[in-house]
Amino acid sequence: MKMGGSYDYWLIVATTVVLAVVSLICVGNMFYYKAAAIQELAPAAQWAHMNRMNGMIAPFIGALILLLGICVPKRLMPLLWLHRFTGVLLAAAGLTALAAGVDAALLLVLFASLVLQTLVLLLALAGSQYLNFEKKNYWLRLGSSLIHLGLILFVLDLYYHHHHILHLVLFWITTITVVVGMLCCFYAEESAALVRRLWCRYRGAAAGNK
């Protein structure tokens, strides 16, 4: 049990550090873009700046994807099977990188995480007790599952931001899942009370119609 707690702790720390670095790069670039008047430079210079920024943030996005590849299956598997699954996934990603490039390998990990997290969300929604969560509260589990799904979709959105319609769809799904997830996590009791009130009203209306 102590090992599991330590494992969770270091995953949280690593994910927090990576997200903090990504945020600092993004925010710092916003101020630098304005201060250096990048928008007034020639198109070639603007593209060069974007490529530098992409090269700077790419390792951290890659690290975030790999962390998601570990965090998500942890909800479904015991520690021993998690290590085995992670090894297989990393091996598959390595072979994909050799055959089709690093981007394809990271997308493989990302889509595997997306499928598994969708399964976790469905199980959390159904109230399954087989999921590995630190807390047993239904709304905390559901909220955490939604936030993780939103995080995966956010990274996926970074890959497909050039596809305008797909970018908008992913952006809004990401926003909705993260906001609803946070409401479930931080307002668990209020969420439960709201659902109970709505359910009572629905049953009352259904009974009245009969």
So where are the chain's domains? 1-132, 137-210
Of the candidates 34, 117, 9, 163, which has an alpha carbon nearest to the alpha carbon of residue 171? 163
What's the pLDDT at 2?
A: 43
What's the pLDDT at 3?
A: 44
Q: What are the pLDDT digits (tens) for 14-59?
A: 888 888 888 898 888 888 888 888 888 888 888 888 888 877 887 8
Of the candidates 29, 180, 10, 182, which has an alpha carbon nearest to the alpha carbon of residue 79? 10
* DSSP structure string for 175-196: HHHHHHHHHHHHTHHHHHHHHH
Q: Residues with Cβ < 8 Å from 60, sequence gap 6 or more? A: 18, 21, 22, 25
d(CA 208, CA 101): 62
What's the pLDDT at 197?
A: 78
What's the pLDDT at 108?
A: 87
What's the pLDDT at 175?
A: 92
State pTM to two decimals. Answer: 0.73
Residues of the chain with pLDDT under 70: 1-7, 191, 202, 204-210
Of the candidates 106, 75, 64, which has an alpha carbon nearest to the alpha carbon of residue 89? 106
Q: Residues with Cβ < 8 Å from 77, sequence gap 6 or more? A: 85, 132
**CA 59-64-68 angle, 5° bins:** 150
